Amino acid sequence: MAGTKRPRKSSGAARKRTASSGARRTASGRKTGSGTAKKAAPAKRRKTPAQRAAAKKRRAEMIPGPSEVAGKAAKGMWNGTAKATGAVARSVRQEAASARELEPEHRRDALGFLWIAVAIVLGAALWWDVTGVVGDYLTSALELVMGLATRVLPVLFLFWGIKIMRQVPPEEGHGRSLIGWMAMWAASLGLLHLIDDRPQTMTDIMDAGGYVGWAVGGALSLGVSPWVAVPLLVLLLFFGILVATATPVRALPERLGSLWALATGRVPDYESGEVFPDEEEEPEEKPKPKRRKRKKEQDAQETLPIELGEDGEPALPRLKPQEVPQLNADEEDEEPPPPPAPKPAAPKERPAAAKEVDTPLVNEIADGGQYRLPELDLLTVGPQAKKRSRANETVIASLQEVFEQFNVDAAVTGFTRGPTVTRYEIEIGPAVKVERVLQLSKNIAYAVKSADIRIINPIPGKSAVGVEIPNTDREAVALGDVLRSKQAKDDSHPLVSGLGKDIEGGFVLANLSKAPHMLIAGATGSGKSSCINSILVSLLMRATPDDVRVLLVDPKRVELTSYEGIPHLVHPIVTNPKKAADALNWVVKEMDQRYDDLAKAGVRHVEEFNRKVDSGELKTMPGSDRPARRHPYLLVIVDELADLMMVAARDVEESIVRITQLARAAGIHLILATQRPSVDVVTGLIKANVPSRLAFATSSLADSRVILDQPGAEKLVGRGDGLFLPMGAAKPERIQGSWVDDDEIEAAVAHAKDQLSPQYIEEVTATLQPKKDIDPDIGDDLDVLCQAIEQVVTTQFGSTSMLQRKLRVGFAKAGRLMDLMETRGVVGPSEGTKARDVLVKPEDLDGVISSIRGEPAAPPSDVPF
């Protein structure tokens, strides 16, 4: 068979080839005067008269006649029309493509309007008989399917259109709604069919439940008789309502109650815009007008126009505190803005500790005292997060181009847009080495015009290479949004801070009590201070001074001044690096004191201790008549560790290590910030004991290694772009730090200060008081002398060689210390080789040391704060 076919095929092909080559020769000969035509020229000169006549006739024939002219004109018009139609179609396609680039809000609005338009067409046709061809066909088709129920469709479509435009679509719950509505619809149509006594003709069916009703009701009545079908359909209808409104049966009485209250105007409307709010999202108790205003603000945010930068791309709002966009600025003309800080009705001065005031707290986060936490409305709403933008499309095109140029079989299969960077997912073809994509990193950086790209191979849980590329249109993350998130509301722990958003746009919160200590480091201007501000404002928004007390150490003197005077402070902000070392010393003492208390109370954590105190189980401390008092969390923030390390590296490191090793159970947590993450500042010992790390952009890979023990931070783009490595995590998570502007800080601080004046702890003040009356002969040996006295008095053994060993000092220094102790009456005179008598009892040790340090005697240590 093949043998017989082949010659036929080839001869056909040969024929084709001949014909086409002949045609090509003719065309080229005529058009270009090619070699063939030139060769034919001499033959032309030798033409016979007959040939000339024939040629003349042919030329005459070539002049078109009138009918031919008309034909050609028609053909031209046809071609022109076709071309014009093509052009229009192409431009429509282009427009449609650019319509896809519309912002999601506009697309949602368009969809809303479409539903309203359909509602109008249907309503006009069904209710008022005002109809055209479209209306006719539409209503007939719908009536055929849904029968009488079609009449309610215009109302539903109208409601749906408005809802789409008013509300940001929930991320989840679409499927649930759809199932609920389908169940309701099927049940209603089936019931209509049964109620209308099971019609059989088409017109009657259209006047009852349509063909859907006929199928549902008819089939059921056939299967189980109409008497059973009706209750079954009623059940299905009820189920549909419950599913569509996300109401479990057990929550029904409560929901009906709130619906009744809503109908009778006894409760404010819910923000969600749904009749039944989700079960977990309890409506906050706020006055109605304020809630409306809030909703209005949110709506305004959703429709905020995107600012275009010079390149026509949406631009990042400039984020200097004074320049952060006032997001409700558009509304200022209509309504006066809300006061920056709601003034609570609490008295300005608190006569005694907050716990002694009997007015119960309104806020559920705090659990005692009169202190009221500020409303979250105090913090501004951030711009709505974009899921994609034109900048992303451009980057995808550039990536694709790079792969094509270098012949790498790889494609961008998706991306996740975060506020600062977008992670593009790249899938490679079979038998393509991942290294080929990795090798292209510099070309990718070149193509997307950004040096700060990070390649992640693979994206955890996916067979794809991730390329993180900074957004040219980055978005700020407002702290208010983070604290208003569901995660934040679900966790009422006072030490939960709003850190920012991750690369997928999810909120990142950190419970500092679980951290339990954190190192924040990055180059200057990378966003450390903004992060500390976010932590402190989170604290002011969520924790009463009874919950958390704070010690702020700010050797730079300018970073934390806004917080001066907040009632959470245990001491005015410490700005002197020398005093900072003493302050850390006090923290160590406080920690020891707390451990004693925990041991006496037989508990392992301060939370348990506080629970016992709150429940009245622990009224006085066992073994003494000292009243048991709660131990609030103590958060110590050091903003510039390097300044402290320069002044007293050994003391500071020692205190930090002691605190970090033990303080967790005592409820003491440390945050150390530095812009110099070098090994002499963040020493190995400190690093080993500070398990949570937050790295902002660093200037070198070495710095990144010091902070995170791995590279990555040197590729960050600054302004709050960070890598968060919480305790126990193997890989850091990329986040965009939350932003809080000066006005918000001021408002939060004012809210706290208006209610309570700071109650500083005397003991800290005493520790940090300037040293007076230090004997000149002690000079620089004060600290070592105190240590020597401690050694001698606690051991009751006045031996010089013991001092040499314990304090690691030479013989001469130990002898001098012994002489100093003798002149101050701590030890007796020298008795040759025998140890000296110790004249001070261990219980008097504190008094002796205080007097030598020139301090007033320390207050009795059994008064905790």
Q: How far is the CB of 354 from ligand ATP (least distance, A)?
A: 32
Q: Which of 193, 291, 528, 816 binds ligand ATP (CB under 6 A)?
A: 528
Interaction mask 295-334, ligand ATP, x per CB under 6 A: ------------------------xx--------------
Q: How far is the CB of 383 from ligand ATP (least distance, A)?
A: 12
Closer residue to ligand ATP in complex, CB, 476/820: 476
Using CB atoms within 10 Å of the CB of residue 263, give its burial: 0 to 12 exposed, 13 to 18 middle, 19+ buried. Answer: exposed
SS (HEC) of 414-450? EEEECCCEEEEEEEECCCCCHHHHHHCHHHHHHHCCC
Binding segment (CB under 6 A) for ligand ATP, from list 218-226, 342-350, 488-496, 517-525: 517-525
**Closest residue by beta carbon to ligand ATP:** 720
Closer residue to ligand ATP in complex, CB, 112/498: 498
**Residue 575 in contact with ligand ATP, rule: CB under 6 A:** no
How much helix, strand and coil, in percent to the nearest 5, is found in the chain? 55, 10, 35
Distance of alpha carbon 527 from the chain centroid: 16
Binding segment (CB under 6 A) for ligand ATP, from list 131-139, 147-155, 330-338, 519-527: 519-527
**Residue 689 in contact with ligand ATP, rule: CB under 6 A:** no
- Residue appearing with tokens 């046809």: 78
Q: Which of 85, 405, 441, 524 binds ligand ATP (CB under 6 A)?
A: 524
Q: How far is the CB of 463 from ligand ATP (least distance, A)?
A: 33
526 is in an annotated binding site: yes
Binding segment (CB under 6 A) for ligand ATP, from list 78-86, 124-132, 520-528, 537-545: 520-528
CA–CA distance, 707 with 694 (Å, rounded to integer): 8
Q: Which helix (H) or strand (E) holds 580?
A: helix 577-601
523 is in an annotated binding site: yes
Q: Which amino acid is at 774?
A: I
User: Do 740 and 530 form a contact (C-beta atoms < 8 A)?
Assistant: yes
**Residue 561 in contact with ligand ATP, rule: CB under 6 A:** no
Binding segment (CB under 6 A) for ligand ATP, from list 151-159, 235-243, 522-530, 566-574: 522-530
CA–CA distance, 133 with 63 (Å, rounded to integer): 52
Q: Which of 525, 825, 847, 856 binds ligand ATP (CB under 6 A)?
A: 525
450 is in an annotated binding site: no
Considering only residues 769-808, where is the footprint of ligand ATP by CB under 6 A? none
524 is in an annotated binding site: yes
Interaction mask 429-468, ligand ATP, x per CB under 6 A: ----------------------------------------
Q: How far is the CB of 89 from ligand ATP (least distance, A)?
A: 45
Number of Cβ atoms within 10 Å of the Cβ of 130: 11
Q: How far is the CB of 647 from ligand ATP (least distance, A)?
A: 19
Tokens of 38: 């030139």
Binding segment (CB under 6 A) for ligand ATP, from list 31-39, 79-87, 523-531, 649-657: 523-531
CA–CA distance, 775 with 275 (Å, rounded to integer): 77
Considering only residues 708-767, where is the footprint of ligand ATP by CB under 6 A? 719-720, 737-739
Binding segment (CB under 6 A) for ligand ATP, from list 376-384, 509-517, 526-534, 842-850: 526-534
CA–CA distance, 794 with 838 (Å, rounded to integer): 10
Binding segment (CB under 6 A) for ligand ATP, from list 265-273, 527-535, 661-669, 799-807: 527-535
DSSP for 367-417, please give it: -SSS--PPPGGGSPPPPPPPS--HHHHHHHHHHHHHHHHTT--EEEEEEEE
Q: Which of 526, 538, 692, 767 binds ligand ATP (CB under 6 A)?
A: 526
**Residue 382 in contact with ligand ATP, rule: CB under 6 A:** no
User: Do 503 and 712 form a contact (C-beta atoms < 8 A)?
Assistant: no
**Residue 675 in contact with ligand ATP, rule: CB under 6 A:** yes
Q: Which of 301, 530, 544, 755 binds ligand ATP (CB under 6 A)?
A: 530
Q: Which of 522, 577, 677, 798 binds ligand ATP (CB under 6 A)?
A: 522
Q: How far is the CB of 693 from ligand ATP (least distance, A)?
A: 15
**Residue 476 in contact with ligand ATP, rule: CB under 6 A:** yes
CA–CA distance, 294 with 380 (Å, rounded to integer): 10
Q: How far is the CB of 522 from ligand ATP (least distance, A)?
A: 5
CA–CA distance, 79 with 344 (Å, rounded to integer): 78
Binding segment (CB under 6 A) for ligand ATP, from list 80-88, 521-529, 743-751, 769-777: 521-529
**Residue 347 in contact with ligand ATP, rule: CB under 6 A:** no
**Residue 529 in contact with ligand ATP, rule: CB under 6 A:** yes
168-175: list long-range contacts, CB under 8 Å, 24+ apart.
168/302, 168/384, 169/108, 173/246
Closer residue to ligand ATP in complex, CB, 675/767: 675
Q: At what angle do helices 210-224 and 226-244 cross, to 10 degrees?
A: 130
Tokens of 246: 């996300």
Using CB atoms within 10 Å of the CB of residue 843, give its burial: 0 to 12 exposed, 13 to 18 middle, 19+ buried. Answer: exposed
User: Do 393 and 101 form a contact (C-beta atoms < 8 A)?
Assistant: yes
Q: How far is the CB of 637 from ligand ATP (least distance, A)?
A: 13
User: Do 748 and 540 form a contact (C-beta atoms < 8 A)?
Assistant: yes
Distances (CA, A) of 685 to 159, 411, 650, 654: 64, 46, 11, 9
Considering only residues 261-300, where is the footprint of ligand ATP by CB under 6 A? none
SS (HEC) of 253-286? HHHHHHHHHHHCCCCCCCCCCCCCCCCCCCCCCC
Q: How far is the CB of 82 from ligand ATP (least distance, A)?
A: 55
Number of Cβ atoms within 10 Å of the Cβ of 572: 14
Report which of 702, 707, 697 is spatially closest to residue 734, judged by C-alpha positions.
Answer: 697
Strand partners, 521: 674, 695
Q: How far is the CB of 476 from ligand ATP (least distance, A)?
A: 5
Binding segment (CB under 6 A) for ligand ATP, from list 61-69, 158-166, 390-398, 525-533: 525-533
Residue 320, SS3?
Answer: coil
Distance of alpha carbon 254 from the chain centroid: 33
Q: Which of 161, 268, 527, 545 binds ligand ATP (CB under 6 A)?
A: 527
Closer residue to ligand ATP in complex, CB, 523/803: 523
Report the relative pairing of strands 633-639 and 548-553 from DSSP bridges.
parallel
Strand partners, 639: 673
Closer residue to ligand ATP in complex, CB, 247/530: 530
CA–CA distance, 255 with 248 (Å, rounded to integer): 10
User: Do 638 and 671 form a contact (C-beta atoms < 8 A)?
Assistant: yes
Count residues near ligand ATP (CB under 6 A). 17
529 is in an annotated binding site: yes
**Residue 405 in contact with ligand ATP, rule: CB under 6 A:** no
772 is in an annotated binding site: no
Q: What are phi and psi of 360, to 5 degrees?
A: -70, 155
Closer residue to ligand ATP in complex, CB, 465/535: 535
Report which of 381, 382, 383, 350 is spatially closest to residue 368, judged by C-alpha positions.
Answer: 350
CA–CA distance, 437 with 506 (Å, rounded to integer): 28
Q: Which residues are annotated as a binding site?
A: 522-529
By CB under 6 A, name the binding residues for ligand ATP. 319-320, 476, 522, 524-530, 675, 719-720, 737-739
Q: Which residues are annotated as a binding site for ATP?
A: 522-529
